[in-house]
Every structure is written in C-alpha cells, then in structure tokens.
Structure 1
Amino acid sequence: MKTRIIAGLILFALSLGGLNASPRDRILMDFDWKFALGHAGDPRRDFNHGTAYFTYLAKAGYGDGPAAANFDDRSWRPLDLPHDWVAELPFAPNASHSHGYKTVGYAFPEYSVGWYRKHFVVEEKERGRRFFLEFDGVFRNARVWVNGFYCGNEPSGYTSFGFDITEYLNFGGSNVIAVRVDASLEEGWFYEGAGIYRHVWLTSTKPLYVPQYGTFVRSELRDNDAAVYITTEVRNKYQENTSFRILNIIKDREGREVARTHSVEYTLRPQEGESYDAVIEVEKPRLWDIDDPYLYSVESCILLGDTTTDIYTTSFGIRTIEWTADKGFFLNGRHVKLKGTNNHQNHAGVGSAMPDALIEWRLGRLKAMGCNAYRTAHYPPSPALLDAADRMGILVLCENRLMGTTDQVLDYLRRLIIRDRNHPSIIAWSIGNEEWAIENNERGAAMATLMQDYAKLFDNTRPINAAVSGSWGRGISSVVELMGYNYLFHGNTDLHHERFPWQFSVGTEEGSTNTTRGIYEDDPEKQYLAAYDRDTPSGFFAIRKGWQHYAARDYLAGMFIWTGFDYRGEPTPFRYPSVVSYFGMYDLCGFPKDNVYYLKSWWTNEEVLHILPHWNWQGREGEPIDVWVYSNMDEVELFLNNKSLGRKTMEKNSYLSWEVPFKPGSIKAVAFKDGKKRLVKVVETTGKGDSLKLEADKTIIKADRMDLAVVTVKVIDNKGRTVPDAANLVSFDISGPARIIGVGNGDPTSLEPDQFVPQYKRIKPGNWKAHKAEGIDVDEAVRAEFDAVSWEAAFQIKGLEPGSQPELTVYKGSFTLTQEDIKGQVTWLFNSIATGQSVYLNGELIAKSLSDSYNRHSLRFDPAMLKVGDNHLVILGYPLVKQNIWDEMNTDPGEILIYHAAPQWQRKTFNGLAQVIIQSDGEPGDIVLKAKGEKLKASELRIEAR
C-alpha cells in the first residue's frame, strides 16, 4: 500500500494538525522516541510496572509505570527507529549460541525488556477522523498503550500489527505511545535482536475507509490485454447506515491514468465491513519482470455522494507465473531458473534494525552476484524488503514463521498472506521449514494439507511450499504443492520426482558451506575457515556441486543457497568466541567472499575472471599454494611472475585450479573466449599498510533522516593496493548533518562493539526523611553532615487533606556516586513535591522558589559540588494539599541522571577491510567522515546530504 507519507521530522514540530485536506494520511512515526531498559523479572527495576492496585488489565486507562500517560521519561535515551538494543549489548560465553552470544534472553533479565515512549500532539480540528497505529514488526512480545490505555499484545516478533486508537487520543492535547518489548524468549534459532526494529506508522482516515491491507489485486492476461481483478474491503465507522460507491483508477508508473471503473451503490451499517469485487481491462500492459520490474498502482476511491472519503493506493504488477512439475518455473511464459539465497534480517553494526536504504543496498549486492530470487528464511519479511524486491525485480519465496493448525497459529499465516499478496515479486508461500517433529509422519501431512487449503482462502494464485530436510517421500513432502529440498545429502531428488511426478520442486536450501572472507587456510585456533568452495565435514555439499545438480535438471525450478550473507548467531561449526555464521556468500558487512565470483560466473551474463587466494605469503617461499580461478570464459592461462603455468579449459558451472609454489610478485590470469583474449586479472604481493582509503556506495544522500551511505574502509600500501591481511584499529569522526549508526568488519570472531552510544544511568535518591521546620535549626539541617536518622520517613501520604494548612517542611535524602559517575554530566530531574521549594545539594543552595505549577524541573549539578560516595539532597517547602479527597499528589522527587557522551567510534580492519554506516540527520549540507589509524596516513570522505 502506498499513500501520502509524511516524515516525522517534518511532522513533529509537535503537531499532527492540518492534514485533513487529504482523505488519508500515513505518517511515519520513527523519529524522536525515548528508550530505556526495564527488567524481565524484577518489577521494581521494570519501573514498578504492573504493581498498581488497578493494573492495565483491570480497568481502562490504568496503565502504570512507563505505560502511564504522566510517567516521567526525561532520563531515557532519545533515539530514532528502527532500533535493536541487542546490537548495543556485550557478548558473553554463557549467552545463547544461536543468538551470537549476545547477553539477551532468560539468563539476562536485566537486558531482555525494553521500553519505548513517544509524545505527539493531535490538533482539535482532527476530531472526527479515525487514527490507526501500525507496527511493521517488534521483536518480541510487544504490549502497547496510548495515553495509559492498553491497546493489545503481539507475541510474535515478525508479524505486523496495529490498533484503532481514535477513542484513546487527546484531540487538541498531548498524547503518548508506550511500548514494552520482552525478548526473554527466543522465537528462532538465529540472531533476532530486540526492539522496535521495523517502521511505525500513524494512519488517519475519515470514518468510511479501506482498512490496512484492505485490497487484493491480481491479473490475468488475455492475448495482449490484461484483466485486473480488484477486491476492496470497506468499513463504516460512522454512527449511521452509509451508502457509497467505489471508483478504481489504475495508473502507470508515471502516474498517468490507464483505466477506471465505477461500482454500483453499496450500503454498510455502523461498524460493519464488507469486501467488493471489480474487474478492469488494461490494454497492452507492460509486464512486471525481473529485467523490467514495471509497477502499476490502483487508487481505490470511496465516494460518499460527491465527496471522496478515502483513497487507498495499492502498488501491483501485471505478470504471470507458472510452476510446472517437469519444466520448473515460468515468468510471463518465459522459463526462468531460480538463482536465490536465504537471508536473515541483520547486518553488521545495526543488528536487525536495518534502515530501508540498507535493505535495498543488500538486495543490490545479491542482484550483482546474479541472484534473481530471495527466500525470507524463516519468518515474514519487512514490508520494506518486499517493496524493494518489487522495484528491483527479485522473486520472493515468502515464508511463515511457525507451522500449526489452531485458529491462533493459522491466523499468523492469514495475516502474512493478507499483508503481502499484492507484491508481484512473491511467487510462492512457505508454510514451514525443517519441522523435524512432524515432517516425516502422518500428523505432518495432515497439518500441511490443512494449512495449504487454508492459505488458498486468501490467495489461490501462488503455490504453497514447505522446506523439508531428511524426510523426502514421507509426511509433509508427500502432500505439499511445491516441494522444497533442503540439502542434497538428505536424499535423491530424481527418485522423489519419479515418485511424485505431479509435484513442483525447488531447492529451498543448499550449501551451508563454512568460509571466512580473506582466509585461505583453516585455522581452528582462531576459528577461521578457508574460503575455498569445499564440502563440509558434516556432509554439506560445495556450492558448485549444488548448482551443478539443480542446473542440470529441468524439473527443479532452481535453488536457494544457505545463505546470501553471514548473519549473527549459529556460528557452525564453532562456539564462542565465534559469534557470526560462516555460511554467507557475502560476510556480515556485505563484503564478497570468493564464492560470489563463482556464482557471478554462472548466474550472470557478465564476463567474469577472479583469482583466489591473495599473494601475501611471506615466509612460505617455495611452498605450494592452491590457486583457483572462477570464470565463465572458455579457457584460462595462469602466470607466476609472467611465466606461464599452463592453459586450461573451463567446464560449464565449474572452476580451474593450479598448485603454485609461492614466490613474491604476481599471479596473473588471462581468459580466452572463442580463442581470443578477453580478460586479464592480476593479484600482487602487496607492501605493508601505508594509509587508509574510504569509499562510499554513494556520495549524495537524501537529507531525510533515513537515507544512508555504506562506507568501505581499506588499508592500502604505498601503491594503493588493498593489504589483504591488514588488522589495524581505525577511529572515526564525523561532522555535518549525519551520524554514524554502526561499524563492522566481517570477522566472525570479533567481540568489538558494533555501536558506541551515549550512556544514561539513572539513580533514585532514597532514605527520604521529613521534619517540620518549626522546632529545628533549618540552617543546620540542610548541611550534608546533619544526620536526620531520627526524623520520620517522608512521603507516607500522597498530599494533605483538602482544606489543610501546610507547614514549612524539610525533606532530606541521599544518593551515591562513583568516581566514574562524577566524570559524567549529573542532573537532578526534579519533580515538585511541595510549594515554594528551595533545593540544596551537600549543604549548598542550588535553586530556590521553584514553581509547583510546572511539576518537572531540571537541575544540573556543578561537578565541584559532588563527591564520591554519599551525596545529600534537601528540599525545603510546603507540602502539597489535595483539591479533592480522592486526589493523589506527587511524592516522587525524581531521579538523578548521569550522562556520558558516546565513546569514540572505532573498528579494527579484518583482512584489510572495515565498514562504517552513516545516516542523514535530516538537514542538508556537507558531511565529512575522517578515519585515523596507528602508523597509517589518515583519510577523509565527503558526502553531500540534499
């Protein structure tokens, strides 16, 4: 769905007003959130959430702790979404192996709950419209409140969800969203991160509207024309019966109208919703294809008399797909062999919180390798990924998270299909992956049959797949429409095809080879594995063997490699300190491993010539080095220091190799096509590192607070050659309208920080005592040395009874600081607990006559007034008096915030490379990134934000 999108940085000049000129507005809510870690097991450390007399489940509007509308979140860290707090956490050897040894999960309750809050204003003139809060994905177990009203819970970390929050809003006033995220329980066996790691939206409509995901658009080719079928759901939240018509307008990519159709008049009762069908003929359409991903849009206009009450825009493509049991897959009648990869949503530096521009950058890397397909293993993808696949012409196998046949579990499958079925990139739905408890038995077959039939209720234009590991011919694999083979060593695809000749088939996982970028000898001690394409000791086949098998068989539609990119977690075959997988064709940063060039040779029409390994083997003179060449040329001749080592013929889908005794200098490959020299590639012995070089994927970014540049950091010698074994610590500084959001280097054993963020430490002053000023020496009482142990405990009642005459009272409390605390910026976020307040720190007056009409004050302490150990606070004032007997006056004096600025951004290079991701901060201007390394010449890079 596409509607008018308004960026939050423009919008939140703190108002949502002035938008009702449009029937529908979709507002990006990613900016200016507040965040703090809570606690999974200790309510006190979870901001006392859930401890109130009336909980949020007892009565409407009774959210407590951070869920309360008036909660003081000033000490929380400001940030923008998407956000993955696990990317900021340390590693630990006792943490989850599958999640990359990050300190999150049931064993780390102090790191497993995060709270988010966002303040915004809706103007009074917006009253009468409907407002919908929409989350693309939160990992995981998200509970949401608006102004203290509980909206609901979404347990899954991968399912999009939303709420109609209209009745909870304060029109003409302040509003706050609170989200509690609990990642204590893993949902998968791979790194998942934690937090609001996908977009948040606020959609505004009139009361007669199309709900989110409320259209289904599909097409059918008829000779040179297309019939476009449109199903539109309409809901009525007016308080009376409402009659309307639907106008559907199809537009081309340039926004020109192609065709339209009007409906008859329909009527809906209050709170009723219904779906309506229409068909439009499009003459000589331009088809969506992997080489020409042409997109149309349909505007579904809801007409209330002469007024347009809603315009819901759906992007779609006109194309045909056909799966056949004997010839594989066809797109628009043309045979297409699927050349795909599996991928998880995480990247170096940012974890699972990948901005849209980074998602698109990664898809671009895969497409450059020759990928035309992508499997969303093993969960529903980000909507942004599917939008990018639509634009870029990448075919998608879209996968469900969990198999199951109860109504609740099936509903996740329904929600996936309803959300994503308009994407032309999607060519099949997967209901599950390697479900070992059921995949080889009758229960599995029954469950798959039911899920397959259920999925067809919502989309019968695509087949249903399940990925099966070791149970070919039984259970799930005997009933599923589209058989997914996981790993050839599990069985014989020819025998399975012979037994089930009606079944479509594809390799859903192949490979699982373990390699480390830039490493060419196994090093078990360092936990590095050579980057040659080899079978693994555990039985997985080399990439080339998998591709040779699938390329040679027409009935196999293609294959998806495990995986396109390395990902956090699952560091097979090692354990800690390995924290990243070894499966990728690219490493965690997206730097290519050598297998990329094998695939590019046979997956693209580009001319390819690639040599491995590097030629820096000083100290090993005369020892044989295994030299491989990847190419799609007919022949290749190899030279050592310009002396020929022989010319060899390249077999299709294969590679060439030579045993070469090491001698410093160069290895040169010359490739021939049709007997003519076509390509030359040289790999040289480099000198030691001399300087740094910064290269960005683009030098102009949008000044929209979302766009980014991916910067490669290279260590080069004095001839400008990348030093392939350089390991230098590099520090980074940035100026101008941008920020660094992550660093990485692709080293699967690196325990360096991915992010350097400010630290917000909170201390709650305690030991509060109180005494009426009359009868004591106030000047003596405010001194730090004065012992108030005999005074009564303060704040035992929440305000004096109505009509009481308050007496001047002294309140005394304390807090403890360390030496490190005093190095930071220390501020008391003080909440008024009296009138006419004067405040003292360690006997020194720091504020007087503080107003109680503005409850919240910020008192920054002079470092010279602080001391290591106990520090003493005194508040002198008149206790608050209730206006009504049921009132509860504030008795919380606030908390101490200790702020430390973010440390210096830095990262060590791994085999000569590192990566920095920089993102726009929303303003135009010149951005300068500087890099410095020990004994290396510095470098800087300029990027323009427009």
Structure 2
Amino acid sequence: MKKLFTLLLAVAGLGSLWAQTTREHFNIDKGWRFAFGHATDFTKDYNYGTNYFSHLAKTGYGEGITTAAFDDRSWRLLNLPHDWAVEQPFDQKGSLSHGFKAIGRNFPEASIGWYRKVINIPESDFGRRISLAFDGVYRNSEVWVNGHYMGNEPSGYLGFEYDITDYVNYGGDNQIVVRADATFEEGWFYEGAGIYRHVWLNKTDKLHVATDGTFVTSEVKDGQAELSISVAVQNDGLQRRNFTMKHILTDAQGKEVATDNLLELYVLPYKTQEVVSQLTLDKPVLWDLDNPHLYTLTTTVYDNGKAIDTYTTTIGIRTIRFDNNEGFFLNGKHVKIKGTNNHQDHAGVGSAMPDGLQEYRIKVLKSFGSNAYRCSHNPPTPELLDVCDRLGILVIDEHRMMGSSLLQKDDLKRLIDRDRNHPSVISWSVGNEEWGIENKVSGARIAQTMQGYVKSLDSTRPATAAFSGSIGSKGITTTLDLLGINYIVNKSTDDQHKLFPAQSIWGTEEGSTHATRGVYFRDDEKHHIPAYDKAPNSSFISIEDGWKHYASRDYLGGMFIWTGFDYRGEPTPYAWPSIGTYFGMVDQCGFYKDDAWYLKSWWGNEPVLHLLPHWNWEGKEGQPIEVWAHSNCDEVELFLNKKSLGKKKMEANSHLQWMVNYTPGTLEAVGYKNGKKVLTDRIQTTKAPATLALTGNASTIKANDTDIVMVTVAVKDKNGLAVPTAEDEVGFSIKGPGRIIGVGNGNPSSLERDRFIETIETAPIENLKEKIVTATTGNEALVTESYDATGWDNAFKDDRTQEFGQKAPALVYRGSFTLPQWQKDATITLFSSNIGVEQSVYVNGKLVAANLKQKAELVLPHDILHTGANSIAIVATPILKNRPWDFINMNPGLVRIFTPAPQWKRKLFSGLAQVIIQSTGEAGSIELTATGNGLKPATLTVKAQK
C-alpha cells in the first residue's frame, strides 16, 4: 500500500492548498465535464476519427473534441468517481449479466462517454516530472493532454499512468480529455462505465522513487523482524545522478522505531536503479486479524544533502503459511479462512464507490465473522485494500484473465507491483473458471507459467486459481501449489488431496444458495425466493453444508462463499425483470439476509440467536410456517404466545427448525448455554405502517466533500415495531452541506432508479445562412422571427480573407434550433460562440445580447421560446484571416435544456430502504427528511465537521 501524497493543508472556505514539497500527489476528481458520444455514428461522436491526420498519424494532431478549443460548456459538470451505467434506465434489451442497464451493443448512444477537465500547472513546476494517473476507467480508455495523445488502456480494472511532462503548458491551463468505451463487456457481471475510480496528478523531481517502486518483505524470528527493502529509483534526467537515501520506520502511533542510511548511490540517465537494504526491528507488533497494526516506511532521496523525493509505504509485519495437511497459518497460528466473494458494485452508486463505502462494506462482512475477501474477478480499487489492511481482513487479489502472453503477464505484473506491500493480500489469483483450458494440457502449461511468473515477482505469497471442472489427471489441478476449488457439489476435495497430497487447497467459491431478503415463500411471478438456506438444485450446495465440509477437514484452508454482497447481473434462476443476484449473504444495500445470521453463529465469537421468518402472515392462519433458529447456543426453546413448542439441542455448524401453525402474536426463542438462559429473540405480528424511521451508521462525517453516511429507512407501526412487509414509497429531501448520491432497497427485481440526476438536452443551431449588410445597425427587419431567409447564401461560403472584409463590413446570420417540450423548472441557455468580432444575438426576434466580443452563456426566457422550431439571428462584424491557415470559428454555439433532478424516492422492500449521503465540503448540520403517504415523516440530522 503505497501512499505518495505529502502534506495537505486544509483551509476552511478555500478548499485545499498543497505545501511545496519534494513530491506532490493531487486528487483531481472534482470538476469534470461529461457527455455521451456514440458508438456507431461518428457525427454523434463529435466527428471523432474523421480528421485527415488523426492523433495516431501525427504528434499533436488532436481532433476537435480532444483540444482545448472545443466548447464543452453545455456538458454536465460532475465529480469522480463516476459510473454512467448506473444512471441509465433498465431495458430488456440490455445485457442480463450487466443487470439489464441500457448500455452495450444495443445502446450505442449510451456506450461512449467523454470526460474533459482543465487543470492549472504553475510555471514553477517546469523542470519537474509531471504525470497523470488513473486508478481505473471502464473501459478501453483513451487519454489526451493539450491535444496530444497519451495512450490507450483496454482493461477496465488496471490503473495506468502517463508522463505528461513534455506536453504541459507551464504557467497556464492544461486540457485533459478522456474517452471511455463501455460497448464491450470485460466480465459477465455488472462492471459500470466511465472513470469510476480516482484520478491523480503527480509531481516529482527528475530523480525519484518510481511509481509502485518499493517492496518490503519481512522475516520474523526470535522476537525480531528482519525487513528487506527494495526501492526502484528512477532518473528521468539527461545526467547521471548521485544520491543518498534514508529509511525511517514508524509504528502506528508515529513513533520512530528503526532507521537506515544508504550512501554513495547513483543512477544513470533514463535508467532505474534498484536499491536494496535491510532493517532490523526488535519486538515488532505483528499485523493480524484482531490487531491489524500498520507501520509506515518513509523513504527520502537526497541530492547533495537536499531532500528531493519522499515516498511513504504502509506495511504490516506478519507471516503466512499454507500447509498441505493443516491449512492456513497467520503468524504461526492456525486460521480457518471464512471468506466471501464480492464485485465492486453497490445499490445506488454502482461501481463508483466513495472510499467510505468500501469501509462500510468490509465492516458489514466482518460483522458476521468473515475474515477474508476475494476480489471477484478483477483487480480491486486500491482503497479497498487499504481498508482491508486497516480493519484486518485477508484478501485474494485477483488478476482478470488467465494467460501467459506478454499482455497478460504485463497486466499481472502491474497488479502485483501495485499491491505487493498490502499485508492483507495473502495470495495472487491468476484465473477463475477458465472453462476453455482448465481441464486441458494447455491449461496446465499456462497455469504453470503464470505461477512461476508470480514467484519471480513475489516469492512471499502463493499463486492460486479458481477451478470449476472435475478432478482429473491433466489441467490446472496438476500444477498449482495452492488450488482453488469452485463448488464441491461437482468434485471431491478428498480425491484431489489423495491425488496430489503436497498441494494446498481452499474453496474459492462455495455455497451459492438463492435467497430474497425478508421473503419466506416462493413467488415466481414476483421473482421471490425463500430466504431459507437450501440448495436450489443438484448443481448447488447450501451454505451450511459447504461450511461443514470445509470446517471438518484440516487440510482445507477454508472457503469463500459466493457471495458476500448481492450484485447486479446474473439473476439466477430468473431473467428479466430481475436485475440482480440472489446469492449474497447480504443484499445490494448490505442488509442482512438470514444466511448472514447462520455465519455469525459459527464464524463469529459472540453468542448469537436469530429467529426466522417474520410473523406477519395474514391469510395463513392455521397453516404451517417453517421456523428456523440460527444460533451457537447449546439449546434453543421456542415459544408461541408464551406456550413452549419444545427445546432442541444445537449441533455444531447447524441450525434448528420447527413447523408452527400460524397464529398472530409473539414467537419467541430462548437460547441456553450450560443449562442457563443467555439469549432471547422475539418476533411479533405488527400493525399497519404508521411512521417512518431513519438510522445512520454515523452521527458525524468529515466536511471534506467525500465522506459519507449510510442511512437505513424503515417504517414502524403504532406500537413502534418495525413492519417487515412494508413496501411504501418514500420520498427524500435534504438540507445543509450534504447531497444524496444513491438510493436502494435490496430488491433484486426492482426497476426503480438508483440515482436521480439532472437532465441535459442540447439543440444545435442548424441551417445557418448569411447576408452581407452595410452596418450592424438598421437591420431590424432581417432579425424578426418571421423573416424568410431562403434566398440567402449558406454561412461561410466565402473564405474570410481581408478581401472579403472589404466587401462585407457587417453580416446578418440566420439559423434555427428545435426544442422539445420542457418542464417549468428547466433552464434553457444559449452557449454562444462568437462568429464575429462583435455580435448581437436575437432569438425569435427578441434581442438577448448586444455587442458581444467573446463567448457567453445566455439564459433564454421561456416566454420567448416555442416547443419545436425557433429562429436565431446574429448581427456581426466579420472575423478575418491574417494568414491563409488561420482558423475562423464557424460554430455559433448551441442551446441547452437543463432540467433539475427530480425528488429522490424509493420503495421499501421487506421493510427497508437505503440512502447514501455525501458531504459537500462545508461544515454544518445535514438534515435528511423522509416522507410517505399516510406515514408520519422522519428527519435524521448528521453533523459535518471540519
């Protein structure tokens, strides 16, 4: 986990200022412009790729949209991370695997996204190295800086960085342009679209530690830790550089615990020098699951005694070992892996997760006893690994696709280089369910090559791959030191262990039950599946049976359940209109399903007693209801309206169940340990919904424009009991320094909107004609709405030479634009660009601006506009060329219809919904109010603090 940033000074009311230091690491997520292009019609893709010389042909030949001259004022203004896919409607023509969002091959108008941003780089930065780093863009991104093409990154998951030093306009503005193409799917699960991870601007000396240039490993023995430190020092200058280096290791409290000085070092021009050293630390505090202690290594590079680069690396000191007979060991202690698989996808925001949401999700997983996380099936965002380091959870870090070509090996190296200092990462996964090769000799060769390549890059962690085929004598099962098993229902781990006794094994995917949160009877019309832990068919296994298998075999390292969180796509066993999975232990919001309580019983350390289902079964009076208890108590006794229905003994890693004829009232479970009553869980029949309730996972957030609070929305009856069957629609409004960024309810077949955003439509000015006049005054008849300019020349038919200016002292231009029906609260703006040295603009005969000498944003009154055709007239003095190759603007601008976002709303599902609130950067009280028909409203107050 490498943190490149230096001192950041937060100045109230002024945003953030950076101290001038040796290395600077700016987040540039704020203030991007966004607009859709088009995947099949180049005219709707801003004529991209139509220049005579393209950006691939000649250096600096950026096309119109990639240059600073392009007018993007009408584009949507937003902050990153941004996922445009989650903002699209659901459509049956969309991809099932991507949750039926209206992007992809069938939606060319919503599958190309353009981003633009201007940054200022001061003249004082000249002589430093400047780079632009992206943590992830989905997908097939292209980047330009000041019209210069930087490159292409096909993967939607790997970070990438461009050195822009030579292209920078020092002391002025610099235009960044990004094109993302989400037409083609990289995975078979929801992946989002756009710049969905952070973007950074890095500044260093020409002599500096390379990006991801440190690697720290440790050996722990006899109360000491021997740290091996490798640092790649890069010289981007023309001269050999002599330097010295100092390492300072500090503990979690900031106390200096070890140092090292390295003298008489050098690196040649345009070379990278690896500097290796050792540090000894007495009595190290080891990183483990209960105490994830982190150290910080600060590496400073000096030139003639002057610090020219400072690079920090966060590390954890720990040992790991996979044993073929005894499983996994952390710091010499046996640990059974209790993991889940997860995609980067959350209700309301899709793949564009704020950093705080990563932490929320890991805390949810840890709350039911999970100690491990598999990044399925792609490299994660760096902030996820930061959270896992900080909270203490083990990670399988997964490469996107198995393969041994230069492309795949390079991608794998970038992943390992980036993530190798994270103590949470215990294995590199080189593939997942590669059906085409996993049972073939070619698969064995590829896996063997990748495993060897991993060892050459990082010998401290094993490579693994997730195998879904059947046990055999060829394929990847024969070559891997650490084999991942996907689904014991179609293979035997015991057979594999006998065939390859030296091989370590763990379950990389297991379970895969289907469950709809809060639902206990199947309803195929509504696409509802009962939330009891039952294998849906012979191709799956229950969570309980899966855990019993792995828990009872010492040689198995543990298992990763498919999945921790529900996610969009793969709505097995249904299709449209289901848009999300049923696999999760929690739903897309993070609300517990009942399976999470089973895991909490046997994965956690605290006493647990959870009773299911709810007890609202109007119309089923006298009918048998299946009642389960998830608990780690010795015995559980069940009562209905205070009458005992019997006490049952709990077997390890199991659950208890009864059949109970429904009678309204109270169902109560009592748990006993060593014969003593220790826990009670009670469910009651509720009255009708009466009042809304809001609960936040925090009462304060940082006033930093990024921090979040997760709000749970529920409804209670007149007695204050939560109504588990409520489906009321709830509207949300917010006051103060906060914004709503997403809503959800965990319903896998809901087609409600995730986000409520402003709508932008544009109307180009078309059919532009021109007429030469003697002066810019006295043209009243020519600018009226009804004037017929059919006989006029097409605009700019004549070249704007000096000779043209002699015969045309002034011009009148006429054109038109077409408006759709607009809402009352819409703002209609003419973004004008000057096609004259000075110009006056008329819309439908009304003067809207006089004597403009530069581009302007003109808000047009509704009462002068019409639905359909509108006329525009421009009276101007002509712009003339001084040289034949001068560029003359011929675009008068366009009209934008901006409709504010509608009110946020969401229906409750099984009694719950979720709202995500984010700070807007100011301090103060944020008030979220929820309202619903016939319900008492509720308000939640959250303090935003500097």
User: What is the TM-score when the length of structure 1 is the normalising length?
Assistant: 0.98
Q: Which residue of 1 aligns with 2:411?
A: 412
Q: Which residue of 1 aligns with 2:827?
A: 825
Q: Which residue of 2 aligns with 1:585?
A: 585
Q: Which residue of 1 aligns with 2:599?
A: 599
Partners of 2:542 and 2:650 in 1: how far apart? 18
Q: Which residue of 2 aligns with 1:667?
A: 667
Q: Which residue of 1 aligns with 2:483?
A: 483
Q: Which residue of 1 aligns with 2:209?
A: 210
Correspondence list, 1:336-355, <5 A? 336-355=335-354
Q: Which residue of 2 aligns with 1:716?
A: 716
Correspondence list, 1:196-235, <5 A? 196-235=195-234
Q: Which residue of 1 aligns with 2:251?
A: 252
Percent identical pairs in the alignment equals 50
Q: Which residue of 2 aligns with 1:784?
A: 785
Q: Which residue of 2 aligns with 1:462?
A: 461
Partners of 2:282 and 2:664 in 1: how far apart? 65
Q: Which residue of 1 aligns with 2:746?
A: 746
Correspondence list, 1:323-338, <5 A? 323-338=322-337
Matching residue's letter, 2:202: T
Kindly indicate whether the alpha-carbon contact (under 8 Å) linking 2:7 and 2:19 is maintained by their aligned counterparts in 1: no
Kindly indicate whether the alpha-carbon contact (under 8 Å) linking 2:140 and 2:154 is maintained by their aligned counterparts in 1: yes
Task: Tell me the SS of whatever aligns to 2:567.
Answer: coil
Partners of 1:471 and 1:147 in 2: how far apart? 54
| Structure 1 residues 798 and 92: alpha-carbon distance in aligned structure 2, compared to 1, 3 A threshold | farther
| Structure 1 residues 238 and 802: alpha-carbon distance in aligned structure 2, compared to 1, 3 A threshold | farther
CA displacement 1:888-931 (0-9 Å, x = unmatched): 11111111111000011000000110000000001110000000
Partners of 1:812 and 1:571 in 2: how far apart? 54
Matching residue's letter, 2:39: A
Aligned positions, number: 941
Distance apart, 1:149 and its partner CA: 1.0
Q: Which residue of 2 aligns with 1:96?
A: 95
* Residue number among 832, 837, 840 corresponding to 1:838 in the alignment: 840
Task: Tell me the SS of whatever aligns to 1:416.
Answer: helix
Correspondence list, 1:279-290, <5 A? 279-290=278-289
Partners of 1:743 and 1:135 in 2: how far apart? 27
Matching residue's letter, 1:665: G
Kindly indicate whether the alpha-carbon contact (under 8 Å) linking 2:490 and 2:539 is maintained by their aligned counterparts in 1: no
Partners of 1:788 and 1:824 in 2: how far apart? 30
Are 2:556 and 1:556 equivalent residues in the alignment? yes
Matching residue's letter, 2:842: Y
Distance apart, 1:820 and its partner CA: 2.3
Matching residue's letter, 1:424: P
Kindly indicate whether the alpha-carbon contact (under 8 Å) linking 1:694 and 1:713 is maintained by their aligned counterparts in 2: yes
Kindly indicate whether the alpha-carbon contact (under 8 Å) linking 2:8 and 2:19 is maintained by their aligned counterparts in 1: no
Partners of 2:921 and 2:903 in 1: how far apart? 23
Kindly indicate whether the alpha-carbon contact (under 8 Å) linking 2:825 and 2:900 is maintained by their aligned counterparts in 1: no
CA displacement 1:175-231 (0-9 Å, x = unmatched): 121110000000000000101111111111111101210001110012110100010
Correspondence list, 1:843-858, <5 A? 843-851=845-853, 854=854, 856-858=855-857
| Structure 1 residues 425 and 208: alpha-carbon distance in aligned structure 2, compared to 1, 3 A threshold | same
Q: Which residue of 2 aligns with 1:811?
A: 813
Task: Tell me the SS of whatever aligns to 2:3.
Answer: coil
CA displacement 1:304-344 (0-9 Å, x = unmatched): 11111101100001100011000000000000000000000
Q: Which residue of 1 aligns with 2:944?
A: 945
Are 2:47 and 1:45 equivalent residues in the alignment? no
Partners of 2:900 and 2:880 in 1: how far apart? 40
Matching residue's letter, 2:146: N
Distance apart, 1:774 and its partner CA: 4.1
Kindly indicate whether the alpha-carbon contact (under 8 Å) linking 1:738 and 1:918 is maintained by their aligned counterparts in 2: yes
Q: Which residue of 1 aligns with 2:547?
A: 547
Q: Which residue of 2 aligns with 1:625?
A: 625
Partners of 2:357 and 2:825 in 1: how far apart? 36
Correspondence list, 1:145-156, <5 A? 145-156=144-155
Matching residue's letter, 1:98: S
Partners of 1:699 and 1:101 in 2: how far apart? 36
| Structure 1 residues 738 and 638: alpha-carbon distance in aligned structure 2, compared to 1, 3 A threshold | same
- Structure 1 gaps of 5+ residues are none
Correspondence list, 1:172-187, <5 A? 172-187=171-186
Distance apart, 1:68 and its partner CA: 1.0
Partners of 1:73 and 1:724 in 2: how far apart? 48
Distance apart, 1:9 and its partner CA: 9.2
Partners of 1:407 and 1:801 in 2: how far apart? 57
| Structure 1 residues 717 and 37: alpha-carbon distance in aligned structure 2, compared to 1, 3 A threshold | same
Partners of 1:598 and 1:668 in 2: how far apart? 18
Partners of 2:651 and 2:607 in 1: how far apart? 15
CA displacement 1:834-882 (0-9 Å, x = unmatched): 022111111111111111xx3x211111111001221000010111012
Kindly indicate whether the alpha-carbon contact (under 8 Å) linking 2:550 and 2:559 is maintained by their aligned counterparts in 1: yes
Kindly indicate whether the alpha-carbon contact (under 8 Å) linking 1:471 and 1:477 is maintained by their aligned counterparts in 2: no
CA displacement 1:710-762 (0-9 Å, x = unmatched): 00000111111111111001000001001000000000110000000011111
| Structure 1 residues 65 and 6: alpha-carbon distance in aligned structure 2, compared to 1, 3 A threshold | farther
Q: Which residue of 2 aligns with 1:107?
A: 106
Partners of 2:7 and 2:61 in 1: how far apart? 32
* Deviating more after overlay: 279-288 vs 56-65: 56-65
Partners of 1:272 and 1:7 in 2: how far apart? 31
Q: Which residue of 2 aligns with 1:472?
A: 471
Partners of 1:11 and 1:926 in 2: how far apart? 16
Partners of 1:823 and 1:815 in 2: how far apart? 20
| Structure 1 residues 823 and 732: alpha-carbon distance in aligned structure 2, compared to 1, 3 A threshold | closer
Distance apart, 1:792 and its partner CA: 0.9
Kindly indicate whether the alpha-carbon contact (under 8 Å) linking 2:131 and 2:201 is maintained by their aligned counterparts in 1: yes
Kindly indicate whether the alpha-carbon contact (under 8 Å) linking 1:798 and 1:888 is maintained by their aligned counterparts in 2: no
Correspondence list, 1:617-766, <5 A? 617-766=617-766
CA displacement 1:661-697 (0-9 Å, x = unmatched): 0000010000000010101111000111001000000
User: What is the TM-score when the length of structure 2 is the normalising length?
Assistant: 0.98
Q: Which residue of 2 aligns with 1:170?
A: 169
* Deviating more after overlay: 882-891 vs 744-753: 882-891
Partners of 1:618 and 1:254 in 2: how far apart? 58
CA displacement 1:236-288 (0-9 Å, x = unmatched): 12221111122111111122211111223122222111211111111110000
* Deviating more after overlay: 353-362 vs 468-477: 468-477
Matching residue's letter, 2:811: T
Partners of 2:797 and 2:493 in 1: how far apart? 75
Distance apart, 1:490 and its partner CA: 1.3
Task: Tell me the SS of whatever aligns to 1:263.
Answer: strand
| Structure 1 residues 823 and 100: alpha-carbon distance in aligned structure 2, compared to 1, 3 A threshold | same
Distance apart, 1:117 and its partner CA: 1.0
Distance apart, 1:10 and its partner CA: 6.8
Partners of 1:521 and 1:446 in 2: how far apart? 48
Kindly indicate whether the alpha-carbon contact (under 8 Å) linking 1:286 and 1:318 is maintained by their aligned counterparts in 2: yes
Matching residue's letter, 1:736: G
Distance apart, 1:4 and its partner CA: 3.0
Are 2:530 and 1:520 equivalent residues in the alignment? no
Partners of 1:448 and 1:275 in 2: how far apart? 29
Kindly indicate whether the alpha-carbon contact (under 8 Å) linking 2:805 and 2:878 is maintained by their aligned counterparts in 1: no
* Deviating more after overlay: 255-264 vs 423-432: 255-264
Q: Which residue of 1 aligns with 2:897?
A: 898
Task: Name the Cα RMSD after superposition.
Answer: 1.6
* Deviating more after overlay: 660-669 vs 245-254: 245-254
Partners of 1:6 and 1:847 in 2: how far apart? 47
Correspondence list, 1:334-483, <5 A? 334-473=333-472, 474-483=474-483
Are 2:32 and 1:30 equivalent residues in the alignment? no
Partners of 2:511 and 2:16 in 1: how far apart? 52
Matching residue's letter, 2:63: D
Task: Tell me the SS of whatever aligns to 1:453.
Answer: helix
